[in-house]
Structure 1
């Protein structure tokens, strides 16, 4: 090897080592923050190492949200039925005819 290339590689080694140390320190800090805040740790393929099981509060919250979801779905179904009725009335030919007759009578005084 040429002496210039060797000198360049020798100067490059501390930079590579510094980047490696920064990466490891960042990984350690990230892992520490996840543990501190209660997030489960991930394994090599993304699976949880220590998965948090559902606690009583979480189960109660899911039950309440499921009940609210069912209630909102029922209300939405009722609103859809009412809207279909209004659409049927508005597009009905007799309603249109009544509107035309009222329009021919002129404005009310």
Structure 2
């Protein structure tokens, strides 16, 4: 019986500090994971906000084209195409006004 008490004392003496070290390590890992997730989420939110703004701008242009009367739609599209920046040209759907061949 005395041997078990001695063994229990040794386990407690070494086990408690090891448990504290392990717990501290697990907390640091959890904190790093939370920070990593927050950073990734912030980046995605910024990307989504940029994309939403670009889409809203395009919708405003389309609404203006549809609601303004007295202007030729093809002329407005050409004017918009001329005023678009190089970046927008690469990201949007190209507009073509070429004539189609008829069979």
Name the TM-score class by shorter chain.
Answer: 0.3 to 0.5
| Structure with bigger RCO (C-alpha 8 Å, 6+ apart) | 2
Higher gyration radius (CA): 1
TM-score (norm 2): 0.40
Whichever structure has more helix as a proportion of its residues is 2
TM-score, scaled relative to structure 1: 0.38
